[in-house]
Amino acid sequence: MKKILLCILTILLVVSCGSIKKPAVDRFQTTILPEYVKNLYIGMPLEEFKEIKNEKSSMIEENLMSFRYEYEEIVNEENLESIVYYFDADIPSQPLYEMIFIYKSDFDVEAYAESMYGEPSVLFHLPYDEWCWDSHEGFKIVAWTFENKLVIIGTIKKTEWGELDVCGNK
């Protein structure tokens, strides 16, 4: 009887340990991403994104850019209409490297960005003002506003933004 009980306890222990997820890695970038996407991060593999976002995001079918996958999430909350996510199609992990937050046309996106980030790090570059941070993960994070959009990118190597002149320098 003791052997059977010991076997059952051992099996339960093994099964329960296998189902424990490892804790999330603390990332600097979660401190600068808008609240709505705090559970995402630049560099997140596409498969992990799909597990988190599930049915909330849909792939944009008319994707003419063969180097990336585009997903759009319709939000329609207060001032935020939708978010477009870009994933690299050529890197095996297919990392998330860009998020475009699309706000309602009457929302002051620039004032919102300045309230979150303060004054831009670099003025009138590419040709927008930019906020720049070191991700502490081997790439820079850059944000800028354009019309009713807040764009946040990661300069992950071998992605669309990997080799471009951002933050006013190489």
Domain ranges of the chain: 27-154
Say how far residue 15 (Cα) sits from the centre of its chain. Answer: 32
pLDDT attached to residue 10: 47
pLDDT attached to residue 141: 94
Residue 39 has pLDDT above 60, yes or no: yes
- Ranking 58-67, 68-77, 87-96, 137-146 by mean pLDDT, the lowest is 58-67
Mean pLDDT of the chain: 81
Residue 85 has pLDDT above 70, yes or no: yes
Q: Per-residue confidence at 22, pLDDT binned at 50, 70, 90?
A: very low
CB neighbour list of residue 100: distance below 8 Å, 6 or more residues apart: 83, 84, 86, 149, 150, 151, 152
What pTM was estimated for this model as a whole?
0.79
Nearest residue to 104 via CA among 125, 128, 132, 76: 76
